[in-house]
Amino acid sequence: MATPFVFPVSVYYEDTDHSGVVYHANYLKYFERAREHVLGREELTRMYREEGLGFVVYKAEMTFHEGAVFGDELEVRTTIDVESPYRAVFHQAVWKPDGKKPMVDSHIQLVCVEGTKLVPLPEQVMARARATGAVD
């Protein structure tokens, strides 16, 4: 098992719903930010501007175990499985740094596109992911 890439997240008041718990869709934002950092924001920006490449979510599965609340400091832990030349699965979980189990688990499948055309995952992106130690 690869060592996960760890991305810190602070829970702000704006992240919570009327019950004071993080609104479920905001976990998708936390996961997205973590993925950008795993792959390298500068490289993703360069690929988009110079090559017209981008990533889209093909499938997202989430399981909620415990809600985070305003003021919590969290970690998004990410590992990646490359399931085909066209698809990467990001296993992402939200943890309290001293937690015994994840608060939220997810499996988010990404594909790479040029415009609307499916293209193989770029090697430079996977090399960046491997360099972080987050690739299984």
Which active-site residues does the annotation give?
17
Secondary structure (DSSP) of the chain: -PPPEEEEEEPPGGGB-TTSBB-HHHHHHHHHHHHHHHH-HHHHHHIIIII-EEEEEEEEEEEESS--BTT-EEEEEEEEEEEETTEEEEEEEEE-TT-SS-SEEEEEEEEEEETTEEEPPPHHHHHHHHHTT-B-
